[in-house]
């Protein structure tokens, strides 16, 4: 610590000589606690000069363009199929970095395309004018519908207004037909010619039968005998066939006559029933069915006529709009399915360097899984954290000087890119992340995350009155300086209130309260408390990081104030 004090004293002596001031040494030994405390007072002349105010902060190197890539269009958990890169790889825009299985996404796309094609065909059909063949078919449909309606109306009219005379005539005709059929049966049964003819056939059958029986009883076996026997047999069978056929024909005629009677009986019953129903008002069920048939025929005719009119008028505007909306929805579905299929490949959105990979091939991944981080190392920037007491001094475009701990002795230029409107609360202090453009460091092997030391130039004042910042003290919220006692050289210094402007940490501009050539006092105590106020951890003097809000510099005690 003594070495640091000696260094400080040497610096202040040089400053005093340069500034035309002088030092006064005073040792306080009033108590044991203050036995080692020494106060040095420098008399400094107020001078005029230019002032560059700056803010010194620490930042971190970041890539201006950096992204954490995910399979954001995934719909389910799956395995990572391939991972083609690793940390440190340089990739180009559009390069495939990783993939997942795409079979289900291809199937979804095929289905979406099929649905779109169907919707497009429906819309095309609506927009296509009717052909001559379609118009002709529609005309035929209208004609058939008219015929069908007429038949239904006629059937209903017959039930509602029956022709009683025709029904009575039908009954009479059925009775007459039945009588004739019955008479025919009776004639068949009492036919005398039948019996006479049957007797003749039976008699004609007797002689050949006797001849055959006689010959068959003989014992001859020569060929002539066999011929006579066969001839006799044939004559006998012909006679029998004639009789049988006659009897069968007679029975068939009688059966036909009896069937005619049954048919005539049924026809008479139907005619009488129809007459009775007509006289009683008709069959209720048939009447209801007939009325229903008329309604259905009317509906069919109306539909056919409307379809014919629609061919001339073209598609309905609402139908067209609905079909077009369906096509738009299906097209959107195809677009989404195509994007989902393309999303099975993780593609580099820009050229850059892979900073890290978070998974390996075969790992289970979801749409939220960060696969890798990509950064464009050609466009780097420094991001600093500036607290709420200093942020009002910062504005876009301010120049800055930047250095890196990793590259000592080298400085680079920078520029404030933006000042955020929203900060984040860190402890009890609101902190704002301010990005700065970095230039002149293209040849360095910089890496994201490196620590950067930044000095931002926040303002300049030309030819203004300057006093050492350490000469300023505060009283009742206002700044003041101590000046030598003009009436008593050995008396206590006098306090003079001042209005200050910008500060560069070492010097502060005085706007009111002093004149060029005035002398002010700077008191430095070597006591423990004052050392903590004025010296840093390594014993170097803290000059502050610029002015707090309102253009007010830090006070001698290291505190900040917002007043003038």
Question: Closest Cα to residue 173, out of 275, 287, 29?
Answer: 275
pLDDT in tens, 157-169: 877 777 788 888 8
Question: What pLDDT is stored for residue 310 in this prediction?
Answer: 81
Question: What pLDDT is stored for residue 505 in this prediction?
Answer: 73
pLDDT in tens, 432-462: 999 999 988 877 888 899 999 999 998 877 8
Positive or negative, the CA dihedral 407, 410, 413, 416 is positive
Number of helices followed by number of strands (H, E) in the chain: 9, 23
Say how far apart CA 208 and CA 220 lie, in whole Å.
Answer: 19
Question: What pLDDT is stored for residue 536 in this prediction?
Answer: 31
Return the C-alpha torsion angle 80, 84, 90, 93, nearest 10: -70
Confidence tier at 526 by pLDDT (50, 70, 90): low
Say how far apart CA 497 and CA 482 lie, in whole Å.
Answer: 9
Report residue 383 as tokens: 């991001």
This prediction's pTM: 0.48
More confident residue, 451 or 549: 451
pLDDT in tens, 111-145: 999 999 999 999 998 888 888 888 899 999 999 99
Question: What pLDDT is stored for residue 204 in this prediction?
Answer: 85
Say how far apart CA 67 and CA 12 lie, in whole Å.
Answer: 51
Contact by Cβ (8 Å): 365, 371: yes
Domains of the chain from N-terminus onward: 2-64+379-534 (2.40.30.170), 66-101+344-374 (2.40.50.100), 163-280 (1.10.287)
Question: What pLDDT is stored for residue 37 in this prediction?
Answer: 63
More confident residue, 237 or 525: 237
Mean pLDDT confidence for 31-50: 73
Beta bridge partners of 439: 413
Percentage with pLDDT > 70 across the chain? 86
252 pLDDT higher than 80: yes
520 pLDDT higher than 90: yes
With 0-12 CB in 10 A as exposed, 13-18 as middle and 19+ as buried, what is 541?
middle
Mean pLDDT confidence for 542-546: 34
The dihedrals phi and psi of 395, each to the nearest 5 degrees, come to: -145, 155
Question: What pLDDT is stored for residue 24 in this prediction?
Answer: 52
Helix (H) or strand (E) holding 310: helix 284-313
Confidence tier at 36 by pLDDT (50, 70, 90): low
Confidence tier at 98 by pLDDT (50, 70, 90): very high
Which DSSP letter does residue 283 get? -
Question: What pLDDT is stored for residue 487 in this prediction?
Answer: 85
Chain centre to alpha carbon of residue 81: 24
Mean pLDDT of the chain: 83
395 pLDDT higher than 90: yes
Per DSSP (E only), the strands in 240-290 are none
Contact by Cβ (8 Å): 100, 74: yes
Strand arrangement, sheet containing 78-83: 345-347, 96-100, 78-83, 364-365
pLDDT in tens, 295-337: 999 999 999 998 888 888 777 889 889 999 999 999 999 999 9
543 pLDDT higher than 70: no
Confidence tier at 155 by pLDDT (50, 70, 90): confident
């Amino acid at each position: 610590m003594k070495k640091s004090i000696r260094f400080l004293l040497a610096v202040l002596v040089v400053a005093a000589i340069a500034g035309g001031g002088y030092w006064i040494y005073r040792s306080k030994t009033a108590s044991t606690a203050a036995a080692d405390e020494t106060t040095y007072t420098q008399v400094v002349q107020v001078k005029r000069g230019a002032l560059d105010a700056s803010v010194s902060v620490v930042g971190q190197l970041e890539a201006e363009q950096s992204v954490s890539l995910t399979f954001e269009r995934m719909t389910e958990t799956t395995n990572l199929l391939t991972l083609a890169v690793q940390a440190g790889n340089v990739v180009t825009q559009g390069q495939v970095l990783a993939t997942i299985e795409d079979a289900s996404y291809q199937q979804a796309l095929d289905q979406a395309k099929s649905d779109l094609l169907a919707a497009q065909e429906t819309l095309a059909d609506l927009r296509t004018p009717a052909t001559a063949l379609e118009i002709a078919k529609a005309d035929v449909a209208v004609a058939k519908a008219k015929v069908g309606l007429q038949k239904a109306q006629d059937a209903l009219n017959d039930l509602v207004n029956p022709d009683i005379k025709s029904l009575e005539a039908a009954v009479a005709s059925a009775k007459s037909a039945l009588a004739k059929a019955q008479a025919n049966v009776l004639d068949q049964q009492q036919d005398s010619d039948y019996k006479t003819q049957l007797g003749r056939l039976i008699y004609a059958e007797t002689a050949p039968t006797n001849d055959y029986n006689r010959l068959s009883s003989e014992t001859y076996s020569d060929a002539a005998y066999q011929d006579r026997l066969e001839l006799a047999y044939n004559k006998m069978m012909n006679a029998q066939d004639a009789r049988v056929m006659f009897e069968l024909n007679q029975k068939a005629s009688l059966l036909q006559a009896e069937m005619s009677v049954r048919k005539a009986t049924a026809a008479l019953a139907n005619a009488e029933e129809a007459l009775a129903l007509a006289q009683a008002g008709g069959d209720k069920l048939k009447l209801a069915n007939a009325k229903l048939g008329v309604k259905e025929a009317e509906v069919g005719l109306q539909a056919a006529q409307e379809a014919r009119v629609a061919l001339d008028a073209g598609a309905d505007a609402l139908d067209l709009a609905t079909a077009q909306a369906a096509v738009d929805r299906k097209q959107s579905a195809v677009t989404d399915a195509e994007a989902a299929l393309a999303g099975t490949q993780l593609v580099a959105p820009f050229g850059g360097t892979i900073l890290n990979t978070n998974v390996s091939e075969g790992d289970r991944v979801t749409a939220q899984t960060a696969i890798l981080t990509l950064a464009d190392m050609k466009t780097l920037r420094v991001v600093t954290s500036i607290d709420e007491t200093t942020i009002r001094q910062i504005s876009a475009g301010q120049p800055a000087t930047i250095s890196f701990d990793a590259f000592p002795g080298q400085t680079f230029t920078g520029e404030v890119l933006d000042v955020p409107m929203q900060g984040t609360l860190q402890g009890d202090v609101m902190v704002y992340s301010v990005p700065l453009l970095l230039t002149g460091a293209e040849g360095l092997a910089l890496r994201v995350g490196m620590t950067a030391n930044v000095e931002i130039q926040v303002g300049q004042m030309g030819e203004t009155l300057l006093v050492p910042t350490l000469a300023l003290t505060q009283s009742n919220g206002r700044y003041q300086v101590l000046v030598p006692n003009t009436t008593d050289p050995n008396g206590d210094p006098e306090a003079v209130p001042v209005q200050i402007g910008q500060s560069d940490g070492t010097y502060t501009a005085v706007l009111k309260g002093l004149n060029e050539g005035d002398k002010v006092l700077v008191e430095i105590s070597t006591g423990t408390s004052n050392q903590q106020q004025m010296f840093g951890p390594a014993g170097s003097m803290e000059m502050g990081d610029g002015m707090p809000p309102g253009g007010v510099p830090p006070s001698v005690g290291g505190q900040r104030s917002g007043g003038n």
